[in-house]
Structure 1
Amino acid sequence: MTNVSHTNELAKEKLPKYIETELGKEKLCIECQEYWPLDEEFWWTRKNKSLKDPNGIRYEAACKCCYNVRYRPGHVKGTYKVKSQHEKVAA
């Protein structure tokens, strides 16, 4: 019982969404709670026509590895391979 309550306390702990590291800007994944570099290799993107974002690019809240776990829980594993743009060009 104490492990479950301890895990819930950690999940409620407020972490910053973005941090600056020697690699550049990194974003927090809401599923795995880890920071990943803010680029298209680690994050799915959407075009955003908001005045708040001058670049017009919005990054998803879950990293590419956690995207199916978070947003497609019934998805059969192994039938869809996630490839970044870099992997598609290299193949």
Structure 2
Amino acid sequence: MKPGLMERRLANGKAYLDSELGLQKWCSHCEEYWPQDTLFWSVSSHKQDGLQCWCKACQLEHKRNKRQAA
């Protein structure tokens, strides 16, 4: 993660530190916090933190809905 990114995200509410789970990241789709690791987030080389902005569960739901609509 780039320097200063974590501080900005903590300040604007897009992340928070949990004493048990560590750094949590905000999913912009389901609007919930999830642990910031690849178990909950897909990798994206285009994002500053290296992870997608939607959690894996939201991405999967979106793909299913898109497939059913076709």
TM beyond 0.5: yes
TM range (shorter): 0.5 to 0.7
The structure whose RCO (Cα within 8 Å, separation 6+) is larger is 2
Percent identity of the aligned residues?
A: 29
C-alpha distance in structure 2 between counterparts of 1:21 and 1:33, whole Å: 17
List alignment gaps of at least 5 residues for structure 2.
Answer: 1-11
2:59 is the counterpart of 1:67: yes
2:23 is the counterpart of 1:25: yes
Query: How many residues get paired?
Result: 55
Aligned-pair Cα RMSD in Å = 2.3
List alignment gaps of at least 5 residues for structure 1.
Answer: 1-14, 77-91
Instruction: Return the offset for 1:38.
Output: 0.2
1:40-59 superposed matches below 5 A = 40-48=38-46, 58-59=50-51
C-alpha distance in structure 2 between counterparts of 1:25 and 1:35, whole Å: 9
Moved over 3 A (4+): none
Moved more, 39-48 or 24-33: 39-48
Q: Of Structure 1 and Structure 2, which has the larger fraction of its residues in strand?
A: 2
Instruction: Return the offset for 1:69.
Output: 4.0
TM-score of the pair, normalised by structure 1:
0.50
- After superposition, the C-alpha distances for 1:4-44 in whole angstroms (9 at most, x for unaligned) are xxxxxxxxxxx611100021100000111110000000000
